[in-house]
Amino acid sequence: METTSALTWSIVTNLAFHGTRERLTDRFIELLERQKTREHPEREIDEALSLYCDLALRSWDLADLAELARFGRYQDVDKSFLRKLYIPRLVNVRFPALDQSFEGPARESVEGSRDSGEDDAWLGDAAVPIADRIRSVGHVVVWGDPGAGKTSLIRWLATAFLLRLRNDPDLKELPCVEMIPEDDLVPMPASCSDLNREDLAEWLLYIRDRIEKETKLSPELVGALQAGLRKRFEEGKAILLFDGVDKITDHRPGVFLHMLIERFVERFPRVPIVMTSRPGDWHGLQLMTGRFFENLSLADPDKAQKDGFARAWCEIASPKRWAEERAEGLIEAIHGSDRMESLTGNPMMLAMLALIKARGGRTPSNRAELCDSAIRMLVDSPNIDSGVIDRSDAFPQLEYLACAMWRGDLFRIRESWILETLERLWDEQPDLQPVRDRNAAEFFRLVKRRTKILVECGKEAHDGERETVYEFQHAIFRDYLAGRALADGLYEGCDRSKPRAERIAALTNEIKVSENATPGMERDAVAKWIWPLRVFVASCSDSEVDDVLLGILESGEETTVETVAPPQVVLAALCLAEEPRASEGVADKIIRELVKYADRADRHDFPPSLLLDAVADLSQSKWGNLLCEARNG
């Protein structure tokens, strides 16, 4: 994936800035001069495009997202079967772009709705195929929570366009291929985590040499590809797919992406662009997308789609004679309770439940338990017969590592950083005897081979050498293990002698919202805490829950913005919505504190206020009646 991303960044950057007077750095200008295009014969361009499609499909095939199903006997399953596990998603239009540069029919609709004041027409719940929005407005950003299917959507689009360009018969086997735009567009997918570099100019200069080595594209074919793509851009016959802009945690790369895309949209307005992000995780994206991009959110899969996934999963993961019976059992688990019905609206949670039921596990009762069961099964995976890893050895080290990444806003980490972090755990927590059974290098080798919780995702320069980089298989795993680390006191600077309520109050007291806060900025400050805190509360004993929830609630201060609740109020409410065994008195206190701010929130904001998310979650929980009483009283 990294090579294709690098190729996309290189070409798009060149075409966006080529010929301008904008001086970023001397080395960046040098890159532009080195990549000027010449005339290339059509035969050479066609060959380059064909090789590019092969490379991109190897990097971005939808089948690669079926990793949870590919253990043991499932590894040799045909890719066309693995692609069937994808649940095609509809989208909700949340907010239109202010600048409709794209040549589509949506401009009149946008202007008409604004002139008439019919904002609700854009904020309704009608779900539509994403192809409709791509054809109409061209530039869209798709927001979704972790595990909602954002990367799957990018891979689905990339796979469909690539199979079509290759005239591959597997195209007809792709789920809901009729929902894909019918144009023969060349997809250019890129992972935004590849842009999270301290020195972009040096990285971009490195790209050309690496592409020539790793993609089998000669310098002449790289030039031909660039020329062919430029022609495609001018004709509107390409599509840019940027996955995970929320993974750009450094300011400099974020500004660079902002500038790159704005320049590209102005230069090639007919080229569709699709980006994905967690809601509000990068405020700079909200500013940019408000001008050029329509904001979309992923609609939850319906019952028929969940059932279809269950049958496809069991067809792949079970012997034929048992597939139907196991599919019925999985379907029963999915729809067995309102809580599980809601949780499996998240495709990643749905896949975790399928994995658990395939191994004969019991149906979890909440998302923390669901994630815990899935990770335990990955740790216990019997597919590698060399070396054994014990849970008591694995969990403390994985928790400490995940929490260090989460607190540092890191998604990708170098191997040397991993080993240094694990060794620091030994120094800080000498009483954790199981982690001394193996040194850090031996433990990490086993984790890589046995669990697939940490996966290799490329290489990056460090101290003059190319070092392998890893990431958690999914951000949900990182955030879940970080929450476990908070509960177990496995993070740097933790005094484990203090009660959990006191420890968490000290941490959440650090969350601040600025005086000029907006709902998007509120999400910036709070969103990263939601998953870990929910896991923290779920890990507490019944006797600790009340004190922990009050510790979170009371650790904040009143904000100076009357429409924005203190982050700690919102977080306490979101944790309460997970239905820990809190007393009614504590639940009532949290809910009444939340309701003080609920009526002030603007329901037309996008991304929506987390306060409204908390109200919605509580209304669907066992505390719904208390919420109604508080709002009516």
CB 217 within 8 A of CB 43: no
Which domain range does residue 577 map to? 501-632
Write down the H helix ranges in 61-187.
79-82, 106-116, 130-136, 150-165
Domain boundary among 229, 264, 298: 298
Q: Say yes or no: 260 and 321 in one domain.
A: no
Q: Say yes or no: 563 and 440 in one domain.
A: no
Residue 271 lies in a domain: yes
Residue 563 lies in a domain: yes
449 vs 231, residue with greater confidence = 231
Domain boundary among 298, 331, 348: 298
**Residue 409: exposed, middle, or buried by beta-carbon count in 10 A (0-12, 13-18, 19+)?**
middle
602 vs 405, residue with greater confidence = 405
pLDDT tens profile 394-423: 889 999 999 999 998 888 889 999 999 998
CB 251 within 8 A of CB 283: no
Smallest CA-to-CA distance from 188 within 227, 239, 132 is with 239
Strand partners, 466: 461
In the numeric block, the tokens 């407005």 are attached to 137
Residue 489 lies in a domain: no
29 vs 602, residue with greater confidence = 602
What is residue 176's three-state secondary structure?
A: coil
Q: Say yes or no: 97 and 219 in one domain.
A: yes
Residue 437 lies in a domain: yes
Residues 419 and 462: their CA atoms lie apart, in Å, by: 15
Q: Say yes or no: 234 and 309 in one domain.
A: no
pLDDT tens profile 504-559: 999 998 887 665 555 555 566 678 898 899 999 999 999 999 999 999 998 866 55
CB 191 within 8 A of CB 1: yes
Q: Say yes or no: 286 and 405 in one domain.
A: no
Q: Say yes or no: 111 and 54 in one domain.
A: yes
Residue 230 lies in a domain: yes
For the chain, helix, strand, coil in percent to 5 are 60, 10, 30
Residues 12 and 60: their CA atoms lie apart, in Å, by: 18
Q: Say yes or no: 64 and 159 in one domain.
A: yes
Q: Say yes or no: 420 and 372 in one domain.
A: no
For the cut 50, the answer to whether the pLDDT of residue 105 exceeds it is: no
Q: Say yes or no: 451 and 333 in one domain.
A: no
pLDDT tens profile 162-198: 999 999 999 988 888 888 877 889 998 888 776 655 5
Residue 436's CATH number: 1.10.10
Q: Say yes or no: 362 and 257 in one domain.
A: no
Q: Say yes or no: 473 and 509 in one domain.
A: no
Residues 168 and 20: their CA atoms lie apart, in Å, by: 39
For the cut 80, the answer to whether the pLDDT of residue 454 exceeds it is: yes
Cα distances from 507 to residues 260, 421, 428, 493, 586, in angstroms, run 37, 20, 18, 11, 20
Tokens at residue 312, please? 């496809």
For the cut 50, the answer to whether the pLDDT of residue 502 exceeds it is: yes
Strand partners, 90: 129
Beginning with the edge strand found earlier in the chain, give each strand of the sheet holding 454-462 in spatial order.
Answer: 412-414, 465-472, 454-462
Specify the number of domains making up the chain. 4
* Confidence band of 32 (pLDDT split at 50, 70, 90): very low
Beginning with the edge strand found earlier in the chain, give each strand of the sheet holding 294-298 in spatial order.
Answer: 127-129, 90-95, 294-298, 139-143, 273-277, 238-243, 186-191
Residues 181 and 366: their CA atoms lie apart, in Å, by: 38
Residue 491 lies in a domain: no
Tokens at residue 141, please? 């950003």
Cβ count near 186 (within 10 Å): 21
Predicted local confidence at residue 499, as pLDDT: 94
Q: Say yes or no: 110 and 212 in one domain.
A: yes
Residue 80 lies in a domain: yes
Bridging pattern class, strands 90-95 and 273-277: unpaired
Predicted local confidence at residue 523, as pLDDT: 64
Residue 384 lies in a domain: no
Domain boundary among 359, 379, 399: 379
* Confidence band of 23 (pLDDT split at 50, 70, 90): very low
